[in-house]
Amino acid sequence: MTTNIDLSVQVFGHTFRNPIIPAAGPNVGSGAMVRRAAEGAAGGLLAKTISRIAAPVPHPNMVRLGRDSLLNTELWSELSPERWFEHEYDLALGAAREYQLPLIASVGYTAEDLTALGPRLEQIGVDIIEFSIHYLDKQRLIDTAQALREAVSLPIVAKLSPHAGDLGEIAQVLDPYVDGFACINSFGPTLMIDIERVESPLGSQYGYGWLSGSAVKPLALRSVFEVARATHKPVIGVGGVTHGEDVIEFFMAGASLVGVCTAAILKGPAVYGKIAAEAAQWLEAHGYRSMDEVKGLYLEKYRHGQPVVTTVEQTAWVNESRCKACGTCEKVCQFNALHAPLKQIAHVDVEHCAACGLCVSVCPSNALEMHQREMAA
């Protein structure tokens, strides 16, 4: 890892050696798996969500979607709370103390669950409690958060669901009772069909599953930005963190930590350290020395929005020194404005360009930019 970059972050009264922590899921489904996250160079630790009963998880319960996403029918921990308190948390706490990392315990889902389990978690020595909520009812949200707040003195993180509505508004409702937020949970339900067998690869009643991984990153980023605009408390960004650049995006949107689950499932626990190293490399390459220097850059720039231009004032412009004559831009242009005959530099017909910007995003050599029409002429 790059040595002159400070990846450590101070959050919830604790020092995380880097901003990448596990998000709750199968990747931290036991104390031994939490230890593997520490060995994989995670910046802090988190254990899978427990409730007052073990989860009746359907089987099979995970299937890959594309390269970096999953559908799953996972619930909370399939291990009983007593198993966690008698064995798994000992292993997790041992790893946390050995590697000098904060340990977050995740718990759900009702006020009764939290008041029963929260004090026991505090007593055994966890550092932070995260609780998951899926309610749409405002009063139930308040009652659940308040119950945990009255039961423990530890920092509390509320993990928000993308289905809950305006997450900024929900963050404001919960703000008096919690010390921070995490967003988002997986998204769904969704459906995948094996068309050769005409069946679902998942074992839920209708084959439905919940989407996680890179496919949900834009939704997760928007959610972090939405919550960070509404509160000054720390936000943990969760959803699609696969590479170091993803960490930078989440921090620019206002995150203070990021959680990784799907990437750890698909690539193993070493991915925590790999993502951290990539984030450090990006910071160094761009002249930054710490995560604090990029935190909130987008949040502050767009906190109050930007002017929305509905007239066509720009056009695509080709940097001829970079164009590789691949023809990709011509294929995606829906307006017949880009022309790239075989082995010829692309050319823009300004009069036909609708300034949609798609060509800029697909150009493999970064040869296309959006310019003002009069400057491109």
The pLDDT value given to residue 338: 97
**pLDDT (mean) for 351-360:** 96
Neighbours of 206 (CB within 10 A): 9
The confidence band for 3, taking pLDDT boundaries of 50, 70 and 90, is: low
CA–CA distances in Å: residue 354 to residues 154, 219, 329, 337: 54, 26, 14, 8
Q: In terms of C-beta distances under 8 Å and separation of at least 24 residues, what long-range contacts does 321-326 make, across chains too?
A: 322/365, 322/366, 322/367, 323/365, 323/367, 324/364, 324/365, 324/367, 326/364, 326/365
Interatomic CA distance for residues 20 and 43, integer angstroms = 5
373 class by beta-carbon count within 10 Å (0-12 exposed, 13-18 middle, 19+ buried):
middle
Could you tell me the residue ranges of all domains in the chain?
9-302, 314-376
Given a contact cutoff of 8 angstroms between Cβ atoms, the answer to whether 241 and 3 are in contact is no
To the question of domain 9-302 being in CATH 3.40.1550.10, the answer is: no
Interatomic CA distance for residues 141 and 269, integer angstroms = 33
Query: What pLDDT digit, counting tens, does each position of 17-29 carry?
Result: 999 999 999 999 9
Q: Residue 2: pLDDT above 50?
A: no
What are the backbone angles phi and psi of residue 14, rounded to the nearest 5°? -130, 155
What is 314-376's CATH number, 3.30.360.10, 3.40.980.10, 3.30.70.20, 3.40.50.300? 3.30.70.20
Alpha carbon 89 to chain centroid distance? 25
The pLDDT value given to residue 8: 97
- Could you tell me the two tokens for 291? 């995560």
Q: Establish how many alpha carbons lie within 13 A of residue 164's alpha carbon, considering only the half-sphere containing its beta carbon.
A: 27
Provide the edge-to-edge strand list for the sheet that holds 187-191: 62-65, 69-72, 208-213, 187-191
The pLDDT value given to residue 377: 56
In this structure, of 12-16, 25-29, 57-61, 140-144, the range with the lowest mean pLDDT score is 140-144
CA–CA distances in Å: residue 59 to residues 24, 62, 101, 189, 289: 19, 8, 33, 16, 46
Q: Residue 375 is which amino acid?
A: M
Instruction: Give me the chain's average pLDDT, please.
Output: 96
CA–CA distances in Å: residue 103 to residues 96, 123, 270: 6, 13, 18
Query: What pLDDT digit, counting tens, does each position of 125-150 carry?
Result: 999 999 998 777 888 899 999 999 99
Which of 296, 156, 163, 157 has its CA nearest to residue 225? 296
Query: What pLDDT digit, counting tens, does each position of 170-202 carry?
Result: 999 999 999 999 999 999 999 999 999 999 999
The pLDDT value given to residue 50: 98
Residue with tokens 């408390």: 233
Interatomic CA distance for residues 225 and 83, integer angstroms = 37
Which of 322, 58, 339 has its CA nearest to residue 208? 58
The pLDDT value given to residue 244: 98
The pLDDT value given to residue 343: 87
